[in-house]
Chains A and B, each alone.
Chain A
Amino acid sequence: MTRFLARRLLQMIPVLFFVSVIIFTLINLIPGDAARLFLGEEASPDALLALRHELGLDRPLYVQYLRWIVGMARGDFGRSFKDNRPVFTTLMQKLPVTGELTAASLVIAWSLAIPAGILAAWRQRTAADYGVSAAALVGLSIPNFWLGIMLIYLFAVNLHWLPASGFTPFAEAPGRNLRALVMPAAVLGLFSAAVVMRQLRSSMVEVLAADFVRTAKAKGLGDRIVVVRHALRNAVIPVVTVMGIQVGILLGGAVITETIFAVPGLGQLAVNSIYTRDFPMLEGVVMMSALAILVINLAVDVIYSLIDPRIKLAGGRP
């Protein structure tokens, strides 16, 4: 296990290198002078020159790149153009908010998708199956920002049950924090639930047709034991993969739901830094989200081996 982890962590390095190159290239392709963005339109030429020197913008691009990644390796992501605070500090402030939102939506997604997927596969080609499958298809097709707007209209504008936007940290007021997260988490969770349910259903259908399931039934085991202990355990591997991918989708989805519900997380930060052309911040957010996905993919691989001992953690190339 240790060797596997070490190997996988080492394999992350070239990927992270490419990730950083892509981000750096993208940001440098954006037209406009960073020093002017930082100081504003009325800045004097001398001040611009001095700042360019201070930020290292007068150096060749590869020097700028090296300074950037060396800085990041030490936890220095640069300073925001907007408020001059270290990017890293802001990222660390926003991370728990998005983390909580993601966790809440995963809870919603799994608690809907797992029973629904099992039911649809177990009662295949019945009304229950068709109903659940149709609901999942609809769930996949509804854009999450529109669902967010509709929920705001229904529950905030009309019924006044939930706040339309705003966010209170959990530590300050747990009740208000959870009330503010219900709608954004539901928006994100419903979409994920649809994806996970479809995957679970199709792999359960396959497993339920396998010989060992027939054997288990022939032994006289009850439906519940066959479904949960025999079938589910074998069906869950592709589902774990999908769940890993889901986290990436949730981080992307957080961009839009956080914007709509004014949740001050990484997603809202990404959009705001695009609007205000705060490029160091944008670089930081994108880098952070890519890193999160790489770590989660690794975690998914480890979870595989825990669920299914047949999978050896050889660490072959993906």
Chain B
Amino acid sequence: MSLTVEAFPGLRQRTAPRRGIRHLAVRFARNRLALLGFAVFCAIVLVAVMAPWVAPFPPAKTDFTAYLEPPGPRHLLGTDELGRDVFSRVIFGSRASLEAGLIAVGLAIGAGVPLGLVAGFYRGPLDDVLMRLTDAMLSFPQLILALAVAAVLGPGLAKAMIAIAVVLMPIFMRLMRAQVLTEREREYVDAARALGAADRRIIWRHLLPNSLAPIVVQGSLNVATAIITEATLSFLGLGTQPPTPSWGSMLNAAQQYLTQAPWLSFWPGVAIAVAVFSVNVAGDGIREIWDPRTR
């Protein structure tokens, strides 16, 4: 990442056009697939927020007269081994996935961006150490690092979010550093300094806002990664714990009923795929409006 940025500083300078949010929104809306993805994502958020009113049953309500029932009129997507309504659990499961996706990426940005800013602005030994550290973190397979961190922290949704954030953080740090390296050489930084602005003001008021575009693009695409990783950790028993429904842990529990009750293994996976697809498509759209090559 940083290689291209440093090799072609001239190319990078024009990546963040100073255009209004409205102009960007219009460009985004012209991409119908991206708009669809964004709409689907908003719908999922709405369903997650309204879950208690949308779901026909409470997600933890067991019914021993109706366990492992196939999909039917009363239970649209069937019931699980404890007679819980799969449809309601899929609806409530969206909460864990969205929380993980949004909060984990938020944490990663919140930690990575300031570190990247400071490293890129001051350079020197601090930068060297931080960069070697990110090199090291990026040389783990993402999922294996997430698993190791989750194993240290123990099971639970909040801990899974931290594990995901730890894995994603170096990406944002490097990206921010690379941005700052080119931005800090530009005239407006000299101008601010000539006006007597302190380092702190230059970093937070000038460099940060001018370097954010690629962070937004990367962040939107990483929400998809975070959702999949949360589901994977929960599937392995390290993420969301029962009885809280999450798509990953539902799939974990469903595995042993694959022959008797395949619907248990079907719908949570569809839900993950739809959520991730919507984020990917919307993220692609966001990238396109900011990427000069596609303009």
B232 located at the interface, meaning its Cβ lies under 8 Å from any Cβ of chain A in the complex? yes
A293 touches which one: B140, B147, B251, B284 (CB < 8 A)?
Answer: B140
A15–B136 CB distance below 8 A: yes
A146 located at the interface, meaning its Cβ lies under 8 Å from any Cβ of chain B in the complex? yes
B213 located at the interface, meaning its Cβ lies under 8 Å from any Cβ of chain A in the complex? no
- Distance (whole angstroms) from the CB of B278 to the closest CB of chain A: 8
B235–A145 CB distance below 8 A: yes
Known contacts A26-B152, A141-B276, A271-B236, A153 near B265 by CB under 8 Å: yes
B143–A255 CB distance below 8 A: yes
Closest to B254 in A: A149
B293–A137 CB distance below 8 A: no
A256 located at the interface, meaning its Cβ lies under 8 Å from any Cβ of chain B in the complex? yes
Within 8 A of B (CB), among A141-196: 141-143, 145-146, 149-150, 152-153, 157
B135 located at the interface, meaning its Cβ lies under 8 Å from any Cβ of chain A in the complex? yes
A146 touches which one: B137, B272, B277, B280 (CB < 8 A)?
Answer: B272
B280–A137 CB distance below 8 A: yes
- Distance (whole angstroms) from the CB of B25 to the closest CB of chain A: 22
B65 located at the interface, meaning its Cβ lies under 8 Å from any Cβ of chain A in the complex? no
Complex: how many Å from CA A237 to CA B195?
A: 45
Closest to B262 in A: A153
Residues of A within 8 A of B268 (CB): 146
A143–B228 CB distance below 8 A: yes
A248 touches which one: B142, B269, B273 (CB < 8 A)?
Answer: B142
A206 located at the interface, meaning its Cβ lies under 8 Å from any Cβ of chain B in the complex? yes
B232–A145 CB distance below 8 A: yes
Chain A residues bordering chain B, tally (CB within 8 A)? 48
- Distance (whole angstroms) from the CB of B123 to the closest CB of chain A: 12
- Distance (whole angstroms) from the CB of B116 to the closest CB of chain A: 16
Known contacts A143-B231, A251-B141, A290-B139, A153 near B152 by CB under 8 Å: no
Complex: how many Å from CA A21 to CA B141?
A: 16
Main secondary structure of the interface of B (DSSP, over half): helix
Within 8 A of A (CB), among B144-177: 144-145, 147-149, 151-152
- Distance (whole angstroms) from the CB of A286 to the closest CB of chain B: 6
Residues of A within 8 A of B235 (CB): 145, 256
Residues of A within 8 A of B152 (CB): 26-27, 29-30
B281 located at the interface, meaning its Cβ lies under 8 Å from any Cβ of chain A in the complex? yes
B258–A18 CB distance below 8 A: no
B147–A19 CB distance below 8 A: no
A18–B136 CB distance below 8 A: yes
B144–A141 CB distance below 8 A: no
A141–B143 CB distance below 8 A: no
- Distance (whole angstroms) from the CB of B177 to the closest CB of chain A: 13
B3 located at the interface, meaning its Cβ lies under 8 Å from any Cβ of chain A in the complex? yes
B46 located at the interface, meaning its Cβ lies under 8 Å from any Cβ of chain A in the complex? no
A289–B140 CB distance below 8 A: yes
Q: Mark A122-143, 1 if CB is under 8 A from B, else 0.
A: 0000000000000001101111
Residues of B within 8 A of A242 (CB): none
Within 8 A of B (CB), among A215-257: 248-249, 251-253, 255-256
Complex: how many Å from CA A303 to CA B135?
A: 21
A23–B148 CB distance below 8 A: yes
A18–B144 CB distance below 8 A: no
B133 located at the interface, meaning its Cβ lies under 8 Å from any Cβ of chain A in the complex? yes
Complex: how many Å from CA A196 to CA B272?
A: 22
Residues of A within 8 A of B231 (CB): 143, 145
A282 located at the interface, meaning its Cβ lies under 8 Å from any Cβ of chain B in the complex? yes
In this complex, which of B140, B152, B232 has the most chain A Cβ atoms within 10 angstroms of its Cβ? B140
- Distance (whole angstroms) from the CB of B204 to the closest CB of chain A: 27
Residues of A within 8 A of B266 (CB): 150
B273 touches which one: A143, A152, A157 (CB < 8 A)?
Answer: A143
Residues of B within 8 A of A255 (CB): 141, 143-144, 147
A318–B3 CB distance below 8 A: yes
A199 located at the interface, meaning its Cβ lies under 8 Å from any Cβ of chain B in the complex? no
A290–B151 CB distance below 8 A: no
- Distance (whole angstroms) from the CB of A235 to the closest CB of chain B: 14
Q: Which 4 A-B pairs rank lowest in CB-CB distance, beginning with the nearest?
A: A252-B143, A146-B269, A18-B136, A252-B141
Binding site for B on A (CB under 8 A): 14-19, 21-23, 26-27, 29-30, 137-138, 140-143, 145-146, 149-150, 152-153, 157, 206, 248-249, 251-253, 255-256, 259, 270-271, 274-275, 282, 285-286, 289-290, 293-294, 297, 318
30 contacts between A and B (CB under 8 A): A15-B135, A15-B139, A17-B136, A18-B132, A18-B135, A19-B139, A23-B148, A137-B277, A137-B281, A140-B280, A141-B276, A145-B231, A145-B235, A145-B251, A146-B251, A146-B265, A146-B268, A146-B272, A149-B258, A149-B269, A152-B258, A153-B262, A157-B262, A252-B143, A253-B143, A255-B141, A256-B236, A270-B144, A274-B147, A293-B139
